[in-house]
Amino acid sequence: MAALKYAGLDDTDSEDELPPGWEERSTKDGWVYYANHEEMKTQWEHPKTGKRRRVAGDLPYGWEQETDDKGQIFYVDHINKRTTYFDPRLAFTVEEVEKPNNKQRYDGNTSALEILQGRDLSGKVIVVTGANSGIGYETAKSFALHGAHVILACRNSTRATEAVSSITAEWHKAKVEAMTLDLASLHSVKEFTEAFKAKNLPLQILVCNAAVFAQPWKLTEDGLESTFQVCHLGHFYLVQGLQDVLRRSAPARVVVVSSESHRFTDLVDSTGKVDLALLSPPKKYYWSMLAYNRAKLCNILFSLELNRRLSPHGITCNTLHPGNMMYTSLHRSWWLMTLLFNFARPFTKSMQQGAATTVYCAVADELEGLGGMYFNNCFRCLPSQEAQSETTAASLWQLSERLIQERVGRQSL
């Protein structure tokens, strides 16, 4: 494609032709990045010139630029009621963008343990759902090996206990425990939140990691399609149940693991409202891949609306894509997917690399107080247009509340 021209850039740079398969994009806050559709990756540097570029852009939602009595520019965050002399648009870039040979701090090859190198998470309490295997396990282990008190919230208590033993075998001082949580059961979610509250612990980080993929059509005990409930509604109810603990623990973060698959679907009907028939369809209209895509779109919309509602209370939420076609347990319900993932395995991220962006969103200092964003390979990028819709996010929230009220009662929200 022809490169786009942006204000403030010289014509020579803006007209550099991109290699085949590359596309130039820009973030809302003015930074240009490049997407390689063949290799399914993104980067800040122009693939030919190696230059990083910036364009003029609006401040993030809720921010305003002002000048103090000394003539210095400062920024007001009206949502979180704070001021800073640091331009929030610069939070996700390298320190010296004029030096094209500088590489970004992290990328798709970075591991979760590299993100945490030198960090002491002692005193932090972290809950990770779906943490007995795959990316969730590596996420939980990485936190635990750096001093955090980590709770593995898992459906299978036997596997969760084995995961705890594996982590403590690696470091005997690791403070890690397992608790039962079945996101396919709203009753189980409620039991988990009540059991967690009984521990009288704070909760600084909640990682909504658990998911199912390529599942045959199945209704949960709550009468909803299982992919939708496990990936979205169960986590929605979990956050509602832990919201008061998160508030008391502020500053706190919620991290939601989504996927680039969210780009290949939508959720709304002809009236612009989120359609439950799309999210929880009857068996004859069900396609497992589409169900997964829709659930992953729900993740980003949920994160957007959650951040809007809770950021004034010191709770921020971001979402992320961990990586493409990684060999986790998600695909094992369908032999064809297992074959495909086995073939792709040598070319994809390791589980440690897949956990890196989750860990980055959970602990990065530069993200303190900032949320409502989507990350890939440890840096911010734009999700689909539908995923940026505040109207759709609000509609999904209202539908999610209604579904829970109908099943467990208004007092549970």
Place of tokens 């014509």: 11
C-alpha to C-alpha distances, 150 to 110, 167, 328, nearest whole angstrom: 22, 11, 21
C-alpha to C-alpha distances, 350 to 130, 274, 320, 324, nearest whole angstrom: 17, 35, 16, 10
pTM: 0.74
How many residues comprise the chain?
Answer: 413
Tokens read off for 141: 């282990």
- At residue 371, the pLDDT reads 96
Q: Considering only CA atoms, which of 222, 231, 209 is closest in space to residue 291?
A: 231
C-alpha to C-alpha distances, 183 to 154, 222, 325, 359, nearest whole angstrom: 9, 11, 23, 22
DSSP state letter for 376: E
Instruction: Encode burial over 209-235: b for 16+ CB neighbours within 10 A, e otherwise.
Output: bbbbbbbebeebebebbbbbbbbbbbb
Residue 379 CA to residue 108 CA, distance in Å, equals 10
Q: Write the DSSP assignment of 244-306 as a string of letters.
A: HHHHHT-SEEEEEE--GGGGG---B-TTSSB-HHHHS--GGG--HHHHHHHHHHHHHHHHHHH
**Contact (CB, 8 A) for 243 and 261:** no
The separation between the first and the last C-alpha atoms of the chain, rounded to the nearest angstrom, is: 48
pLDDT band for position 93 (cuts 50, 70, 90): very low
pLDDT digits (tens, 9 = 90+) for 105-119: 788 889 999 999 889
Which residues contact residue 30 at a Cβ distance below 8 angstroms, ignoring those fewer than 6 apart? 54, 55, 56, 57, 89
Residue bearing the bigger pLDDT, 4 or 209: 209
pLDDT digits (tens, 9 = 90+) for 201-249: 999 999 999 999 989 999 999 999 999 999 999 999 999 999 999 999 9
Judge whether 61 counts as a catalytic residue.
Answer: no
Pairing of strands 175-180, 149-154: parallel
Mean pLDDT over each residue of the chain, to the nearest integer = 84
Tokens read off for 303: 């994160």
How many other CB atoms are there within 10 angstroms of residue 185's CB atom?
18
**Contact (CB, 8 A) for 93 and 31:** yes
- The domains located in the chain, with CATH, are 11-90 (2.20.70.10), 112-412 (3.40.50.720)
**Contact (CB, 8 A) for 314 and 251:** yes
For residue 298, how far is the Cα from the chain centroid?
11
pLDDT digits (tens, 9 = 90+) for 126-181: 999 999 999 999 999 999 999 999 999 999 999 999 999 999 999 999 999 999 99
pLDDT digits (tens, 9 = 90+) for 271-296: 889 999 999 999 999 999 999 999 99
pLDDT digits (tens, 9 = 90+) for 9-65: 333 344 467 888 887 765 544 566 777 877 777 777 888 877 776 645 566 656 778
Which one from 75, 106, 237, 292 is the annotated catalytic residue? 292
168: exposed, middle or buried (C-beta count within 10 Å: 0-12, 13-18, 19+)?
middle
